[in-house]
């Protein structure tokens, strides 16, 4: 059997050549790679060609030719002195890979949508998107919830504890969602805390869809 035949024989006892092994498993992005994508195991690959905003928590690898700078918060379209600790602005040409840990990444593309996400779930977003930071009314005293309003065209990556699902909200079909699994919403949804009943839940009214993280871990995927 030739070396080439051995390479493709599928013999479980065969030891691959280190060069062939390495080049068959390259984790470098292709020239047409999306800014935000997933590896085969669900880790987040952030490919920068210009500027991308991302967290660097659980960093696995990163191109050395990327420049990172702090990202100022924006509230109602205005920059404020407080630095947005969760995100940095990455500029240059290169890529990095972030570990999913015990959670799951969900890259999502906005197509002129208006979305609101709980700040702690956002891991990366393209610079083409418009965003600012606020707080869900009624949560300042009980379990404060920081929100990021994201609008326009571009991709955002969320990292959540379990499966990400959506619940449709209609004018005559409000829902009660546990705050712990509340990720955000798209459309004209109005979430509010009902302190008179159970402050651990949000009452979601209006019209649109609420994003919810169901309990789980990557071991169940």
pLDDT in tens, 185-197: 999 999 998 777 7
CATH number listed for the domain at residues 3-220: 3.60.160.10
Question: In the prediction, which pLDDT does 196 show?
Answer: 73
Q: What is the pLDDT of residue 81?
A: 54
Ranges of the chain whose pLDDT falls below 70: 1-12, 72-85, 138-143, 217-221
> Cα–Cα distance between 91 and 103 in angstroms, integer?
27
pLDDT (0 to 100) of residue 203: 94
* pTM to 2 decimal places: 0.83
Q: What residue spans define the domains of the chain?
A: 3-220
Mean confidence (pLDDT) of the chain: 86
* HEC letters along 87-106: EEEEEEEEEEEECCCCCEEE
Residue pointed to by tokens 């599928």: 10
Residues whose CB is less than 8 angstroms from the CB of residue 26 and which lie 6 or more positions away in sequence, other chains included: none
Residue range 13-57, pLDDT digits in tens: 889 899 999 988 888 888 888 999 999 999 999 999 999 999 998
pLDDT of residue 31: 84
Sequence-distant (6+) residues with CB within 8 A of 2 are none
């Amino acid at each position: 059997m030739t070396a080439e035949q051995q390479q493709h024989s599928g013999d479980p006892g065969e030891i691959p050549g280190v060069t062939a092994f390495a080049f068959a498993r390259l984790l470098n992005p292709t020239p047409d790679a999306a800014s935000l994508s997933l590896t085969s195991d669900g880790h987040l690959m952030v490919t920068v060609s210009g500027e991308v905003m991302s967290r660097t928590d659980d960093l696995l690898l990163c191109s050395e030719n990327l420049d990172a700078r702090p990202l100022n918060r924006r509230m109602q379209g205005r920059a404020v002195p407080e630095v947005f600790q969760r995100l940095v602005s990455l500029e240059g040409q290169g890529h990095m890979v972030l570990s999913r840990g015990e959670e799951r990444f969900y890259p999502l593309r906005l197509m002129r949508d208006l979305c609101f996400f709980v700040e702690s779930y956002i891991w990366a977003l393209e610079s083409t998107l418009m965003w600012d930071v606020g707080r869900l009314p009624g949560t300042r005293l009980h379990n404060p919830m920081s929100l990021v309003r994201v609008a326009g065209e571009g991709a955002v990556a969320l990292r959540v504890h379990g499966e990400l699902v959506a619940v449709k909200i209609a004018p005559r079909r409000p829902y009660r969602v546990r705050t712990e699994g509340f990720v955000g919403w798209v459309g004209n949804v109005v979430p509010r805390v009902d302190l008179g009943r159970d402050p651990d839940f949000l009452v979601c009214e209006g019209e649109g869809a609420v994003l919810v993280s169901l309990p789980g871990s990557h071991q169940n995927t």
